[in-house]
Amino acid sequence: MATTIGSTVLGYPRIGPNRELKRALERYWASRGSEAELRETARSLRADTWRTLREAGLDSVPDSFSFYDHVLDTAVTFGAVPQRYADLGLNPLDTYFAMARGTDSVPPLEMTKWFDTNYHYLVPEIGPDTRFSVADRAVVERFHEALELGVRTRPVLVGPVTLLLLSKPDPDAPEGFSPLDSVDKLVLAYAELLRELRRAGVDWVQLDEPAFAADRTRRELDALRDTYHALGSIGDRPKLFVPGYFGDLGDALGILASAPIEAVGVDFVAGDSRVDDLSALTGLRDKTLVAGLVDGRNVWRTDLDRALTTAATLLGMAGDVAVGTSCSLLHVPYDVAVETHLDAQVRTWLSFARQKVDEVVVLGRALREGRDELEGELVAARRAVADRNGADRVRDESVRRRLAELRPQDARRADYAVRQHEQQEQLRLPALPTTTIGSFPQTTEVRKTRAALRAGEIEHSEYVGRMRGEIERVVRLQEELGLDVLVHGEPERNDMVQYFAEHLAGFVSTEHGWVQSYGSRCVRPPILFGDVSRPEPISVEWSAYAQSLTDRPVKGMLTGPVTILAWSFVRDDQPLADTARQVALALRDEVCDLEAAGLRIIQVDEPALRELLPLRAWQHKEYLDWAPEAFRLATSGVRESTQVHTHLCYSEFGDVIDAIVALDADVTSIEAARSRMEVLADLDTVGFARGIGPGVYDIHSPRVPDEDEIVALLRAALDAVPARRLWANPDCGLKTRGYGEVEPALRNLVNAAARVRNTLR
Ligand code: GLN
Ligand code: ZN
C-alpha cells in the first residue's frame, strides 16, 4: 500500500484535449449518439488521462472525472437526488442530466460559481428528509477500470462539509433548516463509501474542502472537526487526503492538522499561509503535507527555485512533504505544446495542465533526490522565468507614465444631479425608457461570416459589408419595435472579453486553450501578459455606423476592466489593481472615442464584478476600492451630458452592493425578472439613487413573457423607484436566443412600458 503521496495534482481537466467529451455529450443530448458511445468516449479520455499522469511520473494519480460537474457527482453518489428528478422515472444517467440541464417539465438545479473561479457547479438541494446512502458506485467502478489499465488511482470527491455548505435547503424544507444540519447523516454515508473503496483496494481518497478558504462560523469549523474525527476513526478505510484551496485555510488548518487523517493539502499560491503558521501545528508531524506549489488556476511557468525553497523549509514540519498543485488543474487548458501559432516568446513562459504535471514531478524529485539531479530542468525553468521578468515587452513605459500621472479627479464625474439634468437635455428620453442589454441573436449567418473572415475565405471589406448589413437590420428592427435606446447588436463579437483582448496590446489568445465553464460549455480565456494599451479604436466604427442610421440614441457597448480581468489569465507579477488600471485606461480611450464619434450613451458591462470579490471578508475593502475605481477611470473621461450605463448579470448583490453604488454609473441594468423586483428595495436601502433597469424579461429561458406580466413587474418596480429613474429592459444580452422569441418578447416589453407610462400622469 502506497504510504506516501509523493507528487500529485489535485485534479485534471476532463473535457478532453480536443473537447471530445463536449462533443459526445452534445451528440447524446441531441439524440444523435447512444449512451454506449458517450460512455466509450469518456472511458477512453479517462484512460488517456490516467496513463499520461502515470507516465509523466506522478506518484499518485487522481481520478477526477465527471460527465458534467463534480459537485453534482458527489451529491448523486450519496443519493441526494431531489424527488422531482427521481419522479421522472429516467435511467441513472438521464436523471443526472435532468438535474444538470432540466427537461421539458422540470427546470435544472440552480447553477452558481465555484468560489472565485469562472467554473459553475450545480447547487445540491438538501432537506431534513434527504436520505443519504451510497446510491451510485461510479467512483468505485472507475477505480476498477483504472486498475485494469495498471493505474491505482486516488478517487476525488467533494468533502462532506463543503458539499453541504455549497448546498441549499430543499424547497420544502422547514424555515430555519440548513443543509449542515444533516452532516452526521451524510458522514455515515461517506463512511460506508470509504469502507467500500478500501475493499476495492483503494489506498488513498481525496476529500476536497475548499469551503474553508472562506470565512466560516464556529459551528462550521466544529462540523469540520467532527466530520474528520468520525471519518478518520472508522476501521479499515483508505488513507484520507483533505486539501483546502483557493486561499488560506485559517482556523481549519489547525483542525485538519489534528484530525486523524493522513494528509492535508495547503494552497501556497492563493493562500498566504506562512511557513511559520505551519510550524506551530504539531499535528502535522505524523501527516503528509501536500504543498500546493504549482498554480492550478493560472498559466505561468512555475518559479521552481522559489517553490523548492518553500518546500525545503516545510520539511521538518510534517511527517512527509509531498508536492502538488494549488488546486485542481480543471481551471487551465490541457497543453501548451499544441499552441503552434502563439507568440513564440510568450509561449515559453507558459505552463498548461500537462506542463504543470511535469513541474510537480520535477519538484517532487528535486525534493527527494536533491537539486543536483535535476539541474537541467531547474535551469530551463529559471531561464524562462528570468526571460519573462526581464522582457521589454511586458513593460510599456508610456502606459506606466500615464498611470503614474493619474489624479483622483480622473476617476470622478460631476454630481449626478448635474449629469442627470444635462443628459435629459441632450437625450430627451420619455419616462420609463426601453432598451436592451446589447447583443441581438447571433444567427448562423453572423457566426459563419466571422468564421469565414478568420479562415481567410472572405476579404475584410466583404466582412465589413456583411456586418453592416446585420447592424442595419438590427437597428431597423429596434426602430420598428419602438425601443427608445438602440444598440448595434454586437454581431462582430465572439465573446465579450475575448473580442476586446484580441484588440488590446498586452494580451495573446490561444487556439486550443479551452477551459470548462460548466457542463459541456468551454471558454478560451485570453492571456494578459504585459502592460495593456489600445493601439486603435475597437468598437467605434460599428457603433458610429449604427448611430448614423438613426435619430434615436444608440448605446456604445464595451466590457469593463474588472470583467476583462476576471475572464482572462492575468499576469502575476504585479498587483491586480495595477493591471485593472491599465485596462481601464485603454477602455477610457475607447469611451472617449465613442463620445467623439457621436454616441451619447455608452454602456460598460461588469457582469463579473462580484466574481472577483475575495473569499475572505478582511480582503474585501481593498477590492471594493480598486474595482469600482477602475470602472470609473474607464468611464469618467466623458462630458456630463454623456450617459454611462453598466450591466450586472445577477440580482443577489449582498457583498458588492456598495461597489455597485461606487461605480457611479448613470444607469445600471440588473437581473430581476426571476427575483420579482425585490432587489430594488435593497438598492434603495443603501441609498442608490441613479437610473436602474431591473430586467423584466428572463432571457435565460425560451419563454416569451406576455405584456401583462411585464406591466406587473414594472408596476412593482415603481413601488421602489420613481418613474424618472426606471428603465425597462431584458435581464441580459439576447445573443443566445432566437428571433422567434426575441421579437415578440421585445414587442411586449415596449407595449408594457407604454401602458405603464400612460398611467403615470
Ligand atoms: N452586452 C453584453 C450582451 O448583451 C452583456 C453580456 C453579459 O452581461 N454577460 O451580450
Ligand atoms: Zn448579463
pLDDT of residue 1: 39
Asked if residues 301 and 381 have their Cβ atoms less than 8 Å apart, the reply is yes
Where is the domain boundary, 390, 421, 439?
390
C-alpha cell at 193: 463509501
CATH number, position 224: 3.20.20.210
Asked if residues 710 and 748 have their Cβ atoms less than 8 Å apart, the reply is yes
Same domain, 576 and 724: yes
| CA 413 – ligand 2 centroid, Å | 25
Distance CA 621, CA 55 (A): 46
Residue 2: pLDDT over 60: no
Please give the average per-residue pLDDT across 281-289, as a whole number: 92
| CA 732 – ligand 2 centroid, Å | 4
Same domain, 381 and 445: no
Q: Atom 5 (ligand 1): residue with closest C-alpha?
A: 733
Asked if residues 727 and 433 have their Cβ atoms less than 8 Å apart, the reply is yes
> DSSP 3-state assignment of 507?
strand
Residue 419 lies in a domain: no
pLDDT of residue 680: 86
Q: What ligand has the least distance to the C-alpha of 670?
A: 2
Same domain, 600 and 695: yes
Q: Atom 6 (ligand 1): residue with closest C-alpha?
A: 733
Residue 62 lies in a domain: yes
Q: What ligand has the least distance to the C-alpha of 605?
A: 1
| CA 239 – ligand 1 centroid, Å | 47
Same domain, 583 and 709: yes
Amino acid at 673: A
Residue 523: pLDDT over 70: yes
Neighbours of ion ligand 2 (CB under 5 A): 607, 649, 732
Residue 273: pLDDT over 70: no
Closest ligand 1 atom to the C-alpha of 649?
8
Same domain, 307 and 442: no
Amino acid at 702: P
Question: What are the tens digits of pLDDT across the range 419-459?
Answer: 999 999 999 999 999 999 999 999 999 999 999 999 999 99
Please give the average per-residue pLDDT across 562-574, as a whole number: 97
Asked if residues 326 and 296 have their Cβ atoms less than 8 Å apart, the reply is yes
Q: What ligand has the least distance to the C-alpha of 559?
A: 1
Average confidence score pLDDT of the chain: 95
Q: Atom 10 (ligand 1): residue with closest C-alpha?
A: 733
The range of the structural domain enclosing residue 154 comes to 20-390
Question: What are the tens digits of pLDDT across the range 584-600?
Answer: 999 999 999 999 999 99
Q: Which residues on adjacent β-strands are paired with residue 605?
A: 559, 647
User: Within a 10 A sphere around the Cβ of 243, how many other Cβ atoms?
Assistant: 28
Handedness of CA 269, 505, 613, 518 (dihedral sign): negative
Count of domains forming the chain: 2
Active site residues: 700
Residue 752 lies in a domain: yes
C-alpha cell at 300: 505561468
Where is the domain boundary, 333, 367, 390?
390
Same domain, 318 and 259: yes
Cβ contacts of residue 184 below 8 Å, gap of 6+? 226, 230
Assign residue 100 a region (left: φ > 0; alpha: ψ between -120 and 50; beta: otherwise): alpha
Q: Atom 1 (ligand 1): residue with closest C-alpha?
A: 438
Closest ligand 1 atom to the C-alpha of 557?
1
Question: What are the tens digits of pLDDT across the range 644-658?
Answer: 999 998 777 778 888
Please give the average per-residue pLDDT across 610-633, as a whole number: 94
Let me know if 141 is exposed, middle or buried by CB neighbors in 10 A (0-12, 13-18, 19+).
Answer: exposed
**Ligand 1 pocket: which residues have CB below 6 Å?**
437-439, 490, 496, 557, 605, 607, 647, 649, 732-733, 735
Q: State what percent of residues in the chain have pLDDT above 90.
A: 89
Asked if residues 721 and 667 have their Cβ atoms less than 8 Å apart, the reply is no
* Alpha-carbon 329 to chain mean position: 14
Residue 487: pLDDT over 50: yes
**What is each CA distance from 640 to 74, 351, 592, in whole angstroms?**
53, 46, 12
| CA 238 – ligand 1 centroid, Å | 47
Please give the average per-residue pLDDT across 505-526, as a whole number: 96
Residue 6 lies in a domain: no
Residue 205 lies in a domain: yes
Q: How confident is the model at residue 373 (pLDDT cuts 50, 70, 90)?
A: confident
Q: Atom 3 (ligand 1): residue with closest C-alpha?
A: 733
Asked if residues 196 and 138 have their Cβ atoms less than 8 Å apart, the reply is no
**What is each CA distance from 387 to 228, 546, 574, in whole angstroms?**
45, 45, 16
Same domain, 367 and 446: no
| CA 19 – ligand 1 centroid, Å | 25
Q: How confident is the model at residue 3 (pLDDT cuts 50, 70, 90)?
A: low
| CA 647 – ligand 2 centroid, Å | 6
Please give the average per-residue pLDDT across 728-736, as a whole number: 95
Residue 95 lies in a domain: yes
Same domain, 253 and 329: yes
Same domain, 346 and 471: no
Where is the domain boundary, 358, 374, 390?
390
Same domain, 50 and 167: yes
Q: Atom 4 (ligand 1): residue with closest C-alpha?
A: 733
Q: What ligand has the least distance to the C-alpha of 736?
A: 1
Residue 699 lies in a domain: yes
Q: How confident is the model at residue 643 (pLDDT cuts 50, 70, 90)?
A: very high
Q: Which of 647, 648, 671, 729 to probe ligand 1 with, by most ligand atoms within 8 A of CB? A: 647
Same domain, 436 and 309: no
Same domain, 590 and 480: yes
Residue 181 lies in a domain: yes
